[in-house]
């Protein structure tokens, strides 16, 4: 995937910034596909179930991207560049959490409240991987997945 980007980037940079971003997006999707294929080969976790597991994050990202794209053209022209960037960043954060709230409410609560969403410590302690995975293992996407002789079902 990195080699594809290295080949595409010199050509895309001569066209426009949008072409560079499309090349980067293509590289990310290709990298994701190759990673998913490697996960499937290593632990036999089906690619379709990996897509379903990651779809909530993709939906949130699309909501955020669409909202930012729309807002960037509708902000007042008399705002300074710094104010426009700050407004777009704040809007992006809010839209991403809102998109996540729609697509995966449990994950959104975890993003907003951290451990407190699961009844854990609120003093900023780092979470164990088991507590983080509990949110995802309770979803339908991961039910019945076998790895290392254990079943999540």
Whole-number pLDDT of residue 128: 55
C-alpha span between 83 and 153 (Å, rounded): 49
Q: By the 8 A CB rule, do 126 and 102 touch?
A: no
C-alpha span between 67 and 89 (Å, rounded): 11
Whole-number pLDDT of residue 131: 56
Tens digit of each residue's pLDDT (9 = 90 or more) over 80-94: 999 999 999 999 999
Question: Torsions phi, psi of 143, nearest 5?
Answer: -65, 130
**Would the pTM count as exceeding 0.75?**
no
Whole-number pLDDT of residue 126: 53
- Residue 112 CB-half CA count within 13 A: 16
Place of tokens 């039910």: 143
Place of tokens 């777009």: 88
- Overall residue count recorded for the chain in this entry: 153
Residue ranges of the chain whose pLDDT lies below 70: 115-153
Whole-number pLDDT of residue 149: 47
Whole-number pLDDT of residue 95: 94
How crowded is residue 60: how many other Cβ atoms within 10 Å of its Cβ? 23
């Amino acid at each position: 995937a990195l080699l594809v980007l290295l080949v595409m980037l010199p050509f895309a940079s001569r066209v426009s910034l949008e072409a560079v971003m499309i090349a980067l997006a293509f590289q990310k999707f290709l990298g994701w596909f190759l990673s998913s294929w490697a996960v499937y080969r290593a632990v036999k976790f089906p690619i379709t179930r990996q897509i379903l597991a990651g779809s909530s994050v993709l939906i949130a990202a699309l909501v955020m991207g669409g909202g930012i794209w729309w807002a960037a053209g509708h902000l007042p022209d008399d705002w300074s560049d710094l104010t426009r960037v700050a407004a777009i960043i704040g809007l992006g954060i809010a839209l991403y959490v809102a998109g996540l709230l729609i697509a995966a409410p449990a994950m959104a609560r975890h993003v907003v409240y951290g451990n407190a969403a699961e009844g854990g410590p609120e003093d900023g302690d780092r979470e164990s991987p088991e507590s983080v995975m509990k949110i995802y293992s309770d979803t339908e996407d991961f039910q019945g997945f076998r790895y290392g002789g254990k079943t999540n079902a």
